[in-house]
């Protein structure tokens, strides 16, 4: 075996990691080592910078728990999450485009009936989101599950409110026989990503806007179709063109139309003004 020097260390490290028992792990780790070494060479990484990076990574792990995912946030703000979404969700033109999952999704949201108010008891302007779930040929996808979650009118998610121990502003709706769905909630607000951790510390050293435009998250699942993780954004919202996690797409921006008190899209009546957004989700069939 050759002794290590600056010229051969990359090849040696790649050879070692190339022995991973799974061919895919070997491929991933060899490429990771190669790019990591190239990065260090390109910027001539100093020992102080290396130590700062190790401490930053440690802090990112330490602040994470089952509700807070600082590593996902880190991946989001450098554009890695959105790049991975683009690489893996090359749907056809007709299908609804995917965007980032984000760090705030919580598994196991409670099931909700058509028109259920997932914001019951929470301050905010009522918002209805209605439409259909179809395949790319326009056929309804009855039974498709729409897992919906969002921030409240202060821009906070359930996971950011430690005193909350029941599902808040999240629910799983289901498309009806004709593919129709109806979500009742409150208007979300644009919000800052969490700035009280290592990601925030890094962002503060730049001119990056740390805000996201107002949006509601959706995850649609139905056997036989590609899982769709996406958002709907409010047309005209602030930060649409500077989304800190690179998640905004034209096709996902919809008007939140103002309505006066009166008949509401769930078939009932509302005694105060409300907003109504319509969006037809189109799922890509699995090949």
Shortest approach of Fe ion to residue 190 CB, angstroms? Answer: 10
Count of other CB atoms within 10 angstroms of residue 283: 23
| Residue whose CB is less far from Fe ion, 49 or 154 | 154
Which positions from 29 through 58 interact with Fe ion, judged by CB under 5 A? none
Residue 102 or residue 194: which is nearer to Fe ion going by CB? Answer: 102
Q: Is 258 helix (H, G, I), strand (E, B) or coil?
A: strand
- The SS3 assignment for 58 reads helix
DSSP 238: T
Q: Considering CB under 5 A, how many residues would be counted as binding Fe ion?
A: 1
Q: Which helix (H) or strand (E) holds 80?
A: helix 80-88
The Cα–Cα gap between 237 and 252 comes to 12
Judged by beta carbon, residue 235 or residue 266, the one nearer Fe ion is 235
Cβ of residue 281: shortest distance to Fe ion, in angstroms? 18
Smallest distance, Å, CB 237 to Fe ion? 12
Per CB under 5 A, contacts with Fe ion among 67-106 are 102
Cβ of residue 81: shortest distance to Fe ion, in angstroms? 12
Q: Would you say 134 or 248 has its CB closer to Fe ion?
A: 248
Beta carbon nearer to Fe ion, 64 or 99: 99
The SS3 call for residue 33 is: helix
Count of beta carbons in the 10 Å neighbourhood of residue 37: 16
Q: Is 12 exposed, middle or buried (0-12, 13-18, 19+ CB in 10 A)?
A: middle
Closest distance to Fe ion from the beta carbon of 33 (Å) = 34
* Residues at the site binding Fe ion, with contacts judged by CB under 5 A: 102
């Amino acid at each position: 075996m050759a002794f290590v020097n600056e010229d051969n260390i990359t090849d040696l490290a790649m050879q070692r990691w190339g022995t991973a028992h799974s061919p895919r792990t070997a491929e991933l780790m060899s490429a990771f080592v190669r790019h990591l070494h190239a990065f260090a060479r390109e910027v001539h990484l100093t020992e102080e910078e290396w130590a700062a990076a190790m401490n930053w990574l440690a802090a990112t792990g330490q602040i994470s728990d089952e509700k807070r995912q600082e590593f996902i946030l880190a991946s989001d703000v450098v554009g890695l999450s959105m790049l991975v979404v683009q690489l893996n969700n090359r749907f056809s033109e007709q299908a609804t485009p995917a965007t980032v999952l984000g760090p705030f999704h919580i598994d196991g949201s409670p099931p909700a009936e058509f028109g259920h108010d997932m914001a019951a008891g929470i301050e905010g302007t009522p918002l209805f989101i209605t439409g259909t779930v179809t395949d790319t040929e326009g056929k309804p996808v009855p039974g498709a599950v729409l897992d919906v979650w969002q921030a409240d009118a202060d821009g906070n998610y359930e996971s950011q409110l430690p005193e909350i121990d029941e599902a808040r502003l999240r629910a799983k709706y289901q498309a009806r026989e004709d593919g129709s769905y109806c979500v009742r909630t409150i208007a979300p607000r644009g919000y800052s990503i969490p700035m009280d951790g290592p990601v925030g510390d890094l962002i503060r050293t730049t001119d990056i806007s740390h805000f996201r435009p107002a949006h509601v998250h959706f995850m649609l699942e139905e056997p036989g179709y590609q899982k769709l993780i996406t958002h709907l954004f409010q047309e005209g919202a602030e930060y649409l063109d500077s989304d800190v996690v690179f998640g905004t797409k034209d096709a996902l921006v919809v008007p939140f139309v103002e309505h006066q008190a009166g008949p509401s899209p769930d078939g009932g009546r509302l005694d105060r003004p409300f907003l109504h957004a319509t969006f037809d989700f189109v799922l890509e069939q699995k090949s």
